[in-house]
Amino acid sequence: MPKTSKVVRPVTQEKTNTRVLDQFLPLWSLMASHSDTLVVFYGATAGANGGKLGSDEREIILLVWQIVDLREKKVGKLQRCLAKPDTLELTEQCKEETGLILDDLCKAEPLDRVLQQFQQSVSNELKALGRSSYTLCVDGPLVVRQAFHPEASKKNIVLPDCFYSFVDLRKEFHKCCPNAGPVKELTVASMLQYVCVPPPEAEEVVGVKEVKGMVLLTLHLLSDPYNHKFTSVETVNYKFESGACSKTEPVDSETVIRARGLPWQSSDQDIARFFKGLNIAKGGVALCLNAQGRRNGEALVRFINPENRDLALERHKHHMGNRYIEVYRATGEEFLKIAGGTSNEVAQFLSKENQVIIRMRGLPFTATPEDVLAFLGPESPVTDGREGLLFVKYPDGRPTGDAFVLFACEEYAQNALKKHKQILGKRYIELFRSTAAEVQQVLNRCSSTPLISTLPPPPVVSVPVLATPPFLSSSSTRDCVRLRGLPYTASIEDILEFMGEHTIDIKPHGVHMVLNQQGRPSGDAFIQMKSSDRAFMVAQKCHKKMMKDRYVEVFQCSAEEMSFVLMGGTLNRSGLSPPPCKLPCLSPPTFAAFQPPAAILPSEPALYQPPLLATPRPVQPSAHTAAPALAYYPPQHHPQLYMNMNMNYTAYYPSPPVSPSTVGYFAAQPGAMAAAVAAAAPPAPVVSQTGALVRMQGLPFNTGVKDILSFFQGYQYAPDEYSSVNGSVCNELKELQADTVLVLYDLSGQRSGEALVTFPSPEAARRAVTERSDRLLSGQPVRLACCS
C-alpha cells in the first residue's frame, strides 16, 4: 500500500498517537531513502516568500507539485492548487510575486482539505505508475520546516507523513557540483545556469515555473555525467523527547537559543510546539527560574545542529497564543548552567522515559510520601509509587516544600492537575507541568553547599563590637556610584563585567545589591569606589551602558546618600526620605544596627542560615594602596559581632555579606565583612552584655513581632519591674518589648522561620523554655532552646 494512504486521526489524540508514529519513524526513513519516486513540491504564503518564507507567520495559499519517476526518468502531470487562509489578506510583495488576488483565494478550499486532495492525487498517480513509495523534493527546507509545520501546529492539522521526511534539492545539487557556491546562496535559476540547462519559459506563473525548473534539474542530475542517487533524506521529529543532561556533556554554542516572553505556565512540550518543524535535541528545553524558584518566562533551547538553530532565530517575535516570543542566541555554557546536573538521585529519578513530570509546590514541611500519594488519589497513580516522588531538600536535610512527581501518561497527569490549589494539611498546593531540566535546576539550587574547604584557617584576633554597620557611613564625600535600571536577573558578577576596567577601583566588599521588602531585586545597586575621582570617572564612562539588553543609569553619590537608601530610605528628585529603621513603629525592629546588641548570641553555627557560596577570585594588581585582605572570623570568637551582622536590616539592606572585590574573596559566614573592616579600625573595649537569649524554631512564615510578644506574655520582664497596668505604662512596655524580639531572615530577604528573644535573666529564659516549648503558634508547634 502506498505510504501516502490517508491516515485519519482525531486531533484530540494527536499527542498520544505521535508516540506510536515515532516507533515507525526509522521504517519511514528507510523507505524514503530507497524511494523510487520524487514529488517535486513548491509552496507559497500570503506574505514573504523565497529566502524569507515563513518568517512573518503568514498562511500558506499555494501548493504546486509534480511526480518524477526515478527509475524510468519520467514525469507526471503538474498540479497546482490554491488554499484559502483564515485571514483573507495579501501583502503587496505577495501580490507582486504571485499575481494572486483575494477573489482567487475566496473560491479556494481550506488548507486541511487541500492537503487531503494532495494526498489523494499523489496516491492515484503512484498506483498508475506501479510505485510503492515517494519522497518530497523541495528547494530548501523553509517550505516544510518554516511554513507547513508551524501552521499545521497552530491549526491542529495532522500533516501527511511525507512532510516528516524530504530531500533538499540544493544539498543534492551541491554534492554533484561543490564548486557552484554555498548551499544557502543557490537558487533554481542559478543551478540550472551552472549545468547549462535552459530555464522554463519566463511567462509561466509563480509556482509552476519553479517546479518545472526543479524537475529539469532533477532529471539532469539523474543522467550522465552525474548519475546521482537521491539517498540523503532530512527528517522532522514527530515529538520532543525529554531527558536529563549532564554538566560534563559538550554543548555546541551554535545550537542554543534563548526564548523570552513565554507564558509562565508553558511546558517543554509547549515550547517544542512553538518550534515545530525544527529538531530539538533530547532534553533540549530548559525553563529558567528566578531567584524565588519560579519561572521567569525564559527558556534555553538546544537544537540538533546549527542549521536548525538558525531557522529558530527566524521565528523571533512569532506568537504563542496572544504573546509574541523573542528569540536570541545563547551559549552552551548558559544551557549547561540551567539544564546540567550531577546528582545521581536526579538521574535515577529521570531515568524512566516517556513520563509526564508534575511539580508540586507549597507542601507542608511534615508531608510524607504517603500523604502526597493520598492527596493525588487513585485516579492519578504515581509511577512506581514512592519511587516516582522526588522531594526537594536543602543541604541540611530540611524540606523546601517542593516535590516532583512522575506519571505514566497524560491522562494521569491531567487528573493530578485538577487538584491545583486543593488543601493538604493546612496549606493549598500548587501543581503545574514541569520538565527534566527544571528538576535539575531546582535540585542544583537547593543542594548547593559552601566550599568550606577553601576557607583559610581562622586567625585569633581581638575584634571590637561594632555599634553600627561599618559599610554605612555618614561621609558626604561623593566616592560612591548608584546603578539604576539593572536587569532583575543581574548578579554581582554581571555588575563586575559591566564595570570593566573600573572594577579594580572598587573598595573591598563595595558592591551592594538593593532588594525590595519582598526580598526581590529592585534594579538598583550601590558601589563604593576608592576615591571620588574614580566614582566620577565610572559615572562618565558607564552611564547608559548596556547590560543584558537594558541600558543602566550610573550616578555619582555620597556614602550618606547610599546609607539612606540601603537602610530603606528613598533618594529621588524630591530629596532624601528617612529609612524605615528611623521610624518609631517599625516591625520587625532594626535597633541593633544603631545600638550594641542586648545579649551574647550562642556560638552554635546551626543558629544561622547557611553561609553564602562564593567562588575564590584571583588577586588582581592595583595601582592604588592595597586594601587589607579579607579575614574569616568564626562566630565563636566574636558572638556580638556575629549577631550584629545577622540583624534583620537585611530586609532594607540586603547586600550579600561577601560581595566580590578586586582583592579576592572566600566563602565566609555572615559577619566576615564587618570583621574585615573592624580589623583595620582602632581597637575598642568590648561592651559587657546582660540578659539571656531564647531561640525559637518552627515559626509560621507570617509570624510577626506582636505574635511572638503574645506568645511570651508574662515572661518578658520581672513582675517587680513593671507592676502597673495603666495605659501609659502598657504603651511604654509595648515599645520596650518590641526591641527584645529579633525575627531572623535568610540571605534572600525571606523570613527563615526562626527568631531570637531577649529575656532579663537566665532564670526567666529557662522558665519560658520549660513552660512554653512545643506550644502552638498559629497551629504550629514552636521549639524553644536557651542560648548560653
Backbone angles phi, psi at 168, to 5 degrees: -90, 110
Q: Taking residues 311-340, what's their average pLDDT? A: 92
pLDDT of 476 > 80? The answer is no
Strand 74-75, strand 60-69: pairing = antiparallel
Alpha helical stretches, state H, 447-528: 492-499
**Mean pLDDT along residues 716-740:** 41
Q: Is residue 670 classed exposed, middle or buried when 0-12, 13-18 and 19+ CB atoms within 10 A define those classes?
A: buried
Residue 46 has pLDDT above 50, yes or no: yes
Residue 737's pLDDT is 54
Q: Is pLDDT at 32 greater than 60 in this prediction?
A: no
Query: Of 647 and 248, which is predicted with more confidence?
Result: 248
The percentage of residues in the chain with a pLDDT greater than 90, rounded to a whole number, is 34
pLDDT tens column, 664-688: 333 333 333 333 334 444 443 333 3
Cβ 2 vs Cβ 127: under 8 Å: yes
Question: What integer pLDDT is reported at residue 519 of this predicted model?
Answer: 66
* pLDDT tens, residue by residue, 149-174: 999 999 999 999 999 999 999 999 99
- As a whole-number percent, the residues of the chain with pLDDT over 70 amount to 70
Q: What is the pLDDT of residue 446?
A: 74
Given this model, what pLDDT does residue 19 score?
A: 41
Better-predicted residue by pLDDT, 91 or 719: 91
Judged against a pLDDT cut of 70, whether residue 735 lies above it is answered with no
pLDDT of residue 510: 81
Burial of 32 (0-12, 13-18, 19+ CB in 10 A): buried
Classify residue 146 by its DSSP letter.
Answer: I
pLDDT, greater one: 223 or 702:
223
> Which residues sit opposite 258 in a β-bridge?
300, 328
Lowest mean pLDDT among 213-217, 255-259, 420-424, 447-451: 447-451
CB of 228 closer than 8 Å to CB of 176:
yes
Residue of 255, 441, 252, 459 whose CA lies nearest to 357: 441
Question: Residue 615's pLDDT is what?
Answer: 32
Element counts in the chain: helices (H) and strands (E): 25, 34
Average confidence score pLDDT of the chain: 75
DSSP three-state, residue 76: coil
Q: What is the pLDDT of residues 591-615, one digit of tens each?
A: 333 333 333 333 333 333 333 333 3
What proportions of the chain, in percent to the nearest 5, are helix, strand and coil?
35, 20, 45
Q: What is the spatial distance between Cα 232 and Cα 220, in angstroms, rounded to a whole number?
A: 18
Predicted model pTM: 0.53
pLDDT (0 to 100) of residue 299? 92
Question: Please, how many CA atoms are within 13 Å of residue 236, restricted to the half-sphere of its CB?
Answer: 27
